[in-house]
Structure 1
Amino acid sequence: MSTTSDWITVGALAEGFAPEAFILPNLAELAGRRFDLHFENGWHIEHRFDAEQLHWHAADGHSTGSAPYRATSVRPGIYLIDFIKHEGGQAWSISLVLDTLTQSFTAVIGSLPSAEETREGLYSRALAGKALTSVEARFLHGSLDQPWQPGACPHAPSSELVGVRNRYRYSPTEVYEHIYLNPDYYSWQCLQGVEKGLCDTDRCHYYKITDALYLFVWREKIVPTLGLVMIDLQQHRSDGKIFGYASDGFDTLSNFPVSSYCDLLNRTEYGDA
């Protein structure tokens, strides 16, 4: 057994995932379309798509810009949009689940820690009552092309994955398993690939989008990483991205797509325990 650390950067992970990856194609069907996002918190942000860029403009002027985007769909009528927003001297990971079947959406706004924050030890964070991970994620909901009303977005936190043990094949060489422990944590293990033998238990979030379709987000604490995937248990597919620093510096980002074929290994029923 190796006694050395085999942890790698997110940039090196991206390189390992890339060869023959089972990536879903970037959809072209959103080009020329516009969506008005009415947030529960009162924001109203117009989003316009062309073939390569997403353009957004907030009605109150608090945010305007454009960025390259990736658009995918594991279930007809439900799109995952992902891009990086550079604003206020910081890079933000923005992921939108646009649900045209219910005219609603969920937005995930993520950010990475500063260099100083990464130097704070886990023990110090624990004693201070802080989350062990310094990666942040904020979840917002709203309605598409119509004013927000309470209950307009059916996407909601879910415990339906708790007890599930899934295997994810991202490429012929990259295979992982996830064990969904409880509503706040999951364990992962690399069975095959550049992280083979590595495992951990990390903070996570689950949202049910519709029957057998979930938004799963995790925030790693050792190598600062934000992961986000849509998991379709009907089609046995997942699609999303991994976001982090490309190297051991803090000036270059890696935001790379991950898609998999997934299968259920087993399910644990805890009963009243």
Structure 2
Amino acid sequence: MNQQPEWITVGALADGFASDNHILPAIDDLAGRTLTLYFDNGWQIEHRFDTQRLSWNAPGEPASAACPYRATSVRPGFYLVDFLKQEQGRTHSVSLVLDLQQQCFTAVIGQMPTQAECSVDLFSRALAGGELTSVKAQFLHGSIDAPVRAETPRHSPSDELIGLRNHYLYSSSEAYEHVYLNANFYSWQCLKGVEQGLADTDRCHYYKIAEQLYLFVWREKIVPTLGLVLIDLQAGRSDGKIFGYQGTDFSNAANFPVGALARVLNRTHHG
């Protein structure tokens, strides 16, 4: 009789993904640049980059303390900038998809649940009509270095991944399969690696960034996890990050890069 595979923390998952992986190298293309992001909601935030750290501020406000960031590019003209910021005693994940071809961006702000929020069981969540996951993600859009106008391009929600069954090889030891079910959910299973044998169906979000280039975000309900990747089907690869708690005491955040060689296994069409 097969043993039940064990769920692990995000910190333990990071250890499994650490060696011989397919993450893209961090780049310093943005070093020395200042980009002003004009949000659809009226925010205006200036971001200043050096080789390893960035700071930001709204007009008339003091600059934030500089914090480490990671910038990668899966395709020329597109950057994923990822960092953590502290606000009101909580750690928030910030991921910026910078589209320098169209001078627009998408920002994903993620927040892990508290221990009390995690203690609410799934059945109670379902009966209350809420989401099963307690991980939060906010999606914001806008323009770069110019105020938002009616004709400003937008990264829009997309259904182009729905129906795909994809294989992702993260390293020589870590492989996963994704099945994109519908606009709200996808299924995953670990084919080999530290989560081998585990599988689930979780809440997800899809945005089209360019032709065959997608932002995919998922929010897991068993172990609090926010995953975010850019998937380039043209190049056959993905790159992004996973955010969660380092251990079981909810005291330290884990935020580590992931990248995979990606291939489409098949597509299902429902008539």
- 1:58–1:64 CA contact under 8 A, matched in 2: no
TM-score (norm 1): 0.97
- 1:57–1:65 CA contact under 8 A, matched in 2: no
1:49 partner letter: F
**Partner of 1:231 in structure 2?**
231
Counterpart Cα distance in 1 of 2:222 and 2:62: 34
- 1:43–1:59 CA contact under 8 A, matched in 2: no
**Partner of 1:196 in structure 2?**
196
**Any unmatched runs of 5+ in structure 2?**
none
Alignment of 1:42-191 (within 5 A): 42-59=42-59, 61=61, 64-191=64-191
TM-aligned CA deviation for residue 62 of structure 1: 9.3
Counterpart Cα distance in 1 of 2:137 and 2:63: 19
**Any unmatched runs of 5+ in structure 1?**
none
- 2:5–2:196 CA contact under 8 A, matched in 1: no
Q: Deviations over 1:121-179 (max 9, x none)?
A: 00000001110000000000000000011341320000000000000000000000000
1:11 partner letter: G
Q: Deviations over 1:203-243 (max 9, x none)?
A: 00000001000000000000000000000000001000000
TM-aligned CA deviation for residue 29 of structure 1: 1.4
Counterpart Cα distance in 2 of 1:37 and 1:262: 31
- 1:106–1:141 CA contact under 8 A, matched in 2: yes
Counterpart Cα distance in 2 of 1:65 and 1:215: 28
Counterpart Cα distance in 2 of 1:269 and 1:151: 34
Distance 1:158 1:63, change over 3 A: farther
Q: Deviations over 1:25-63 (max 9, x none)?
A: 100111101100000000000001001101111126498
Q: Does residue 1:12 correspond to 2:3, yes or no?
A: no
Query: What number of residue pairs does the alignment pair up?
Result: 271
SS at match of 2:126: helix
Identity, % of aligned pairs? Answer: 60
- 1:236–1:261 CA contact under 8 A, matched in 2: yes
RMSD: 1.2
TM-aligned CA deviation for residue 263 of structure 1: 0.4
TM-score (norm 2): 0.98
Counterpart Cα distance in 1 of 2:185 and 2:156: 17
Counterpart Cα distance in 2 of 1:85 and 1:56: 11
1:126 partner letter: A
